[in-house]
Chains A and B, each alone.
Chain A
Amino acid sequence: MKRLNRQKIAPYMFISPFFLIFAAFMIFPLGFSIFLSFQKWGGMGTMQFVGLQNFINVLFSDTFFVKTLMVTGVLLVFGSFTQHIFAIPLAIVLNSKLIKGRDFFRTAYFLPVITSAVSVSIIFQNVFSMNYGLLNYLLSFIGVKPIDWINWSWSIPIAVSIVINWRWIGWNTLIYLAGLQSIPNELYESADIDGASTINRHINITIPMLLPIIFFAVTMSIIGGMQVFDEPYVLTTREANSMGGADNAGFTSAFYILWLLRRAARYGRGSAVAWLLFILILIMTFINRKVINYFQGDRVLPRRIRRGKTASKIFSTQMEIK
């Protein structure tokens, strides 16, 4: 009986340190943040309850917020979503049995993921520099005039996107690789017998079968892309009061929250921005789910199954002929 008791108490003992910290540093601050978003507070003095005023101000009379949303949105499209256009084909190539040394390439592609955004951004600052940078040097061969990548407002988003892509393509490639390995081989065998070309096989089998993984990876990209800060900060900061370089072209929403915290000391507004951003992430994830469902539910999947059936029918008739 005593032993049984011990067995009952043990799990609570095991989880209690974790949950004490989890409650104190995860759940409590989250609640405090909601509370703060309804207050006007600069860190010192008393708080002043302002109701929904923070949210209303941020949404309707805060030009910075709109600006940062646009910057974040552009980076989301060119930085976070573009990764998948590279990562899926790369994963397919890396999954090909024709390739030797796949482990080597997998490891090498994963390296940028583990390096810090600060290191990477400092390196790329050098690559992007106007008169002696590697990128402008390479571009000069095809007759492109030097571009001041990280000092001009139109090229800052491009430069930041390049860095984000560079850092995260390997991560997504690995996720898609895992997805590819779970696709049953029979589908490809029947497509072979169907005489499908390589590109056809990937459009009709690989992509539809990858859809759940694509949902997962794109959702991760949305969450990551909406809070991008390190790369634009290091790339565009020239002075301590920086707000994202020329024309605030690198002033992302997460950067804005940090700016409200450190430079402006407006914690209420900062918390409101954070929660609005979070709601935006939820909406985007929901849309992503809907889009994936649309492709998976109504269109591509049935066709794939039909194709699979015809293929197996042909397969069986051929067997009979033999």
Chain B
Amino acid sequence: MPQQPMNPPAGHSIERPSLLYMKTRRILGRVVLYFILIFFFIIFAYPFWHVFILATRDYQTIYKTPPPVWFGKIETFRTNWDTLFDRIPFHRNMFNSLGIAVFATGTQIFFCTMAGFAFAKYDFKFKNILFPFILISIMLPRFLWLIPTFQMMAWLKWINTWLPMVIPQIGNAFGIFLMAQFIEGAVPLDLLDAARIDGMGEFRILLSIGFPLSRAGIAVLGTISFVFSWNDFMYAMIMLNKEEAYTIPVALAEMNLRSEGVIGAVMLGNALGLIPILTAFIFFSKQIISNMLAGSIKG
């Protein structure tokens, strides 16, 4: 039998597309991808730009067609600044927001890392009963707590103070879960045993080994907690009902509700409220994004 010439598998033609065709196709594909990415970049970034330019504009130029795309005069910025601080006790609101965010973040980091360390690195009797509790409570929607927590805080006379914004955060289930997951991988058991042999107490071990080794996890939890606390609106609105006690989002929403012709000042307040968050994020963004990517793969 004469040898048949070998045929390629079905669907594969021997003729390859020309090199030029492949090259143009690849370049075209890349152009389309970049177009999509830049399009979405503009959509996501433009509102930030918008708030900063409107903060420097007055009533007349904001309410014009087409809307302004560049900064206004420095005088109008000053006027907006004065209006903002005249209309609402903005410095108080800023102070409240900062204080609450710092205390909530600090206490949450300390207590959640401590508890997470216990769950990740010790064996104890009730571990397998307590941890599932925490996991379940992460999945529960927040509105279940709205009414009873308000009643509790009213009974404790904590309304209009920082306490309802800070204290419950110590028991934040998400924080402990995050830290337990993180410490599990970040702190080697051998190191703890070595420290014990050297005669270190358990609390010393936590302070001088546990905390430093979980720095990256703390950065993530800290940023999330800061952002969450800074942005919180529904809960803050219930717990705080005096102008002097408001946090930035509550104060802005109220001012926006009552504002006629002070849109520039509202936008200035908005811009000032965005600055701490943007700074925190730009500072930690790399760590957060890479940790989120790594974390989801593990989970």
A interface list, Cβ under 8 A from B: 3, 6-8, 10-15, 17-30, 32-33, 36, 43, 90, 93-94, 96, 98-99, 103, 105-112, 114-120, 122-127, 131-134, 137, 166, 169-170, 174-175, 177-179, 181-182, 195, 213, 223, 226-227, 229-230, 233-234, 237-240, 254, 257-258, 261-262, 267, 270-271, 274-275, 277-278, 281, 314, 317-318, 321
Contacts and interface: CB of A to CB of B under 8 A. Distances in A.
B37 A94 contact: yes
Contacts of B33: 93, 96, 98-99
A-side interface mostly:
helix
A267 B155 CA distance: 15
B274 A18 contact: no
A179 B257 contact: no
A111 B145 contact: no
Given A230-B233, A233-B253, 18 more contacts: A11-B124, A18-B111, A26-B168, A29-B145, A30-B148, A33-B147, A110-B281, A114-B277, A117-B233, A118-B253, A119-B252, A131-B65, A132-B62, A132-B63, A133-B67, A178-B295, A233-B233, A267-B151
B-side interface mostly:
helix
A127 B50 contact: yes
Interface stretch (B84-92, B200-208, B212-220): B200-208
Contact of B141 (A26, A117, A239, A277): A277
A5 B161 CA distance: 41
B178 interface: no
A14 B257 contact: no
Given A105-B37, A120-B47, A261-B150, A114 B122 contact: no
A18 B170 contact: yes
A47 to B, nearest CB: 11
A158 B63 CA distance: 23
A274 B171 contact: no
Nearest to B149: A29
Contacts of B176: 18
A278 B137 CA distance: 12
Contacts of B40: 90, 109, 169
Given A10-B122, A15-B115, A317-B9, A178 B234 contact: no
A106 B238 CA distance: 35
